[in-house]
Structure 1
Amino acid sequence: MWERAFIPTDRGTFEVFLRGEGKPLAITHLYSEFNETGDRFANTMVPHRRTFLVNLREAGESPKADNPADLDMDETVEDLEAIRKALGFQVWDFAGHSTGGMLGLMYAARHPESISSLIIVGAAASKDYASQPDCIYHPEHPMFERMQELRGLQLQQDISVEQKRAYGQETTKLSLFKPENYPQYFSGNIRKSVAPVRLDHFSRHDFPKFDLTGELPNVRTRTLVMCGRQDVQCPIRCSEEIRDLMPNVEMMVFEASNHYPFLEESGKFADTVKIFLEP
């Protein structure tokens, strides 16, 4: 179990979960809600860092938004920066998967002095990831309609916990190289969920304007970019673009993975993280 803490900042008091020892590393996802059971991606960092798993505004018992703009990615970056300062860290590492990785790229672009190293997994530098036909969010993708339907169903307020869990499982299976391995990958007691308000805000407000391609060439933070060759959410070209835009990037491709290489090729992923974080 992760240790729960509340971090008072000048932007509100944020719910954070802690585990591990050593230098600090922050992890979050743009619309996930965490609890004491932790997170599978975050668990890969725990052997190497004191890991801080952050519930963003409108997730868990972190602050509510006074207005919709409080949920913008730009404002979320400032929330993370306020948490870092409140914890007393001069710098920390940041790791993010999917939209957590997109947020990490923005954080490094806006506050390069605050991040000592960056780990980005299955992410993209702009909204253009969804303009590629091999992306599941593109209308030409064969599973586009079902993915959209499932995302809508998860936003419903009047569904049971069991229904929400079933929709979540089906959504995840669409992004696995071997969906039949879902029970193996997602065994255990981790009970992460979706923060509906944040997911809706990302879809309506952040996604249409998300583009860091003009900023990333100036980001010199030491960065590890990882991606599954078969990723249907952020196709591999997205990671290649990040690598090509940023001047201090290492890249690792996982040939037998879709969107979850830390589960689908867990051994190789763990070795890659260890080498990067403990040079």
Structure 2
Amino acid sequence: MLWKRQVVETTRGSFELFFKGDGEPICITHLYSTFNETGDYFADTFTGSNSVYLINLRETGSSVRAEQFYQLSMLETVMDLEAIRRALGFKAWYFAGHSTGGMLGLVYGIYFPDSLTGLVIVGAAARDYTISPFCIYHPDHPDFQRMQQLIEMLKKADLKENQRKALTRERTKLSLYSPETYEQNFDKPIKKKLSKVRIEFFNRELAIYDVRSKLPYCHSNLLILCGKYDVQCPLEFSKEINELVPNSRFITYDKSNHYPFLEEKQSFSRDIHHFLEGEAAH
């Protein structure tokens, strides 16, 4: 079943989103992915229990363009999400983010905690994660050079579909606990693209990104999840978030890398639903 497309007019411009599911509303996005009607693996985790709003951020899909580069920053992006929430008529909603989507979620939780029913952060960090030698984006990591090559090739606008698919497969396998399980984990006809302009802006912002001092003010109900062998945002960064956010909950997946929602799907879904059901009960 395809996701339903919707364009929302807000005070900050028009934004494209895709909707699926029933229940309490939850916002899901990623800093530089472009979504479409085929949806998203991470977002699919929530469609059985929530009304999921998968957002194309500024400069992605059919959403409004950026008139100034600063509009691509995390804080400006969170303000866009707030405008979307208000336009949809929600007093509050959940936010769930994986990887850079999780980093965006932390900024959301810091500056607009009253707008969030709850916050789910998966495989993320509160500061520049590339400083860790366990991170695949650190020059000392054995797969660093190949990952950089793959990222640059995927930015090319003239890539044929079969080329993009092969490059994406190889890139993703580098972040799996068991690379041989790629086909069984990524078995849906989901197609996404990366926004070159948003990636380039994020790479600059990452150099100064550090919200650790503000995390004690993140009063949202926070669930932190991470694969034990995450090579993109290593486990140490999730532990750090848990230590700095009062009353946050933290779960580690011992047979996962960067995709615990696929690599340990059953356990991950159970933990997510327990969290969501618990918050709904409150």
Q: TM-score, normalised by structure 1?
A: 0.97
Which amino acid is 1:113 matched to?
D
| CA–CA separation in structure 2 for the residues paired with 1:134 and 1:108 | 27
What per-residue deviation string (whole Å, max 9, x for no partner) do you get for residues 150-180 of structure 1? 1111112232222222211111110000111
What per-residue deviation string (whole Å, max 9, x for no partner) do you get for residues 100-135 of structure 1? 0000000111111111100000000011x2111111
Q: How does 1:262-277 map to 2 (within 5 A)?
A: 262-277=261-276
- In structure 1, the gaps of 5 or more residues are none
What is the SS of the residue equivalent to 1:167? helix
Match of 1:121 in 2: 122
What per-residue deviation string (whole Å, max 9, x for no partner) do you get for residues 30-51 of structure 1? 0011111111100111111111
Deviation at 1:236, TM superposition (A): 0.5
Match of 2:83 in 1: 82
Match of 1:130 in 2: 130
| CA–CA separation in structure 1 for the residues paired with 2:184 and 2:193 | 19
- In structure 2, the gaps of 5 or more residues are none
What is the SS of the residue equivalent to 1:36? coil
Deviation at 1:271, TM superposition (A): 0.4
Q: Which moved more, 1:253-262 or 1:180-189?
A: 180-189
Deviation at 1:72, TM superposition (A): 1.1
| CA–CA separation in structure 1 for the residues paired with 2:42 and 2:143 | 25
Match of 1:163 in 2: 163
What per-residue deviation string (whole Å, max 9, x for no partner) do you get for residues 205-261 of structure 1? 221111110110111211110000010001100000000000021111000000000
CA RMSD of aligned residues (A): 0.9
What is the SS of the residue equivalent to 2:121? strand
Match of 1:69 in 2: 70
What is the SS of the residue equivalent to 2:212? coil
Match of 1:44 in 2: 45
Q: Which moved more, 1:192-201 or 1:234-243?
A: 192-201
| CA–CA separation in structure 2 for the residues paired with 1:229 and 1:115 | 27
Q: How does 1:158-237 map to 2 (within 5 A)?
A: 158-203=158-203, 205-237=204-236
Match of 1:242 in 2: 241
Equivalent pairs counted in the alignment come to: 277
Deviation at 1:188, TM superposition (A): 1.7
Deviation at 1:196, TM superposition (A): 1.7
What per-residue deviation string (whole Å, max 9, x for no partner) do you get for residues 10-45 of structure 1? 111100111111111000000011111111100111
Percent identity for Structure 1 against Structure 2: 49
Q: Which moved more, 1:147-156 or 1:113-122?
A: 147-156
Q: TM-score, normalised by structure 2?
A: 0.96
Q: Which moved more, 1:150-159 or 1:91-100?
A: 150-159
Match of 1:92 in 2: 93
Which amino acid is 1:258 matched to?
N
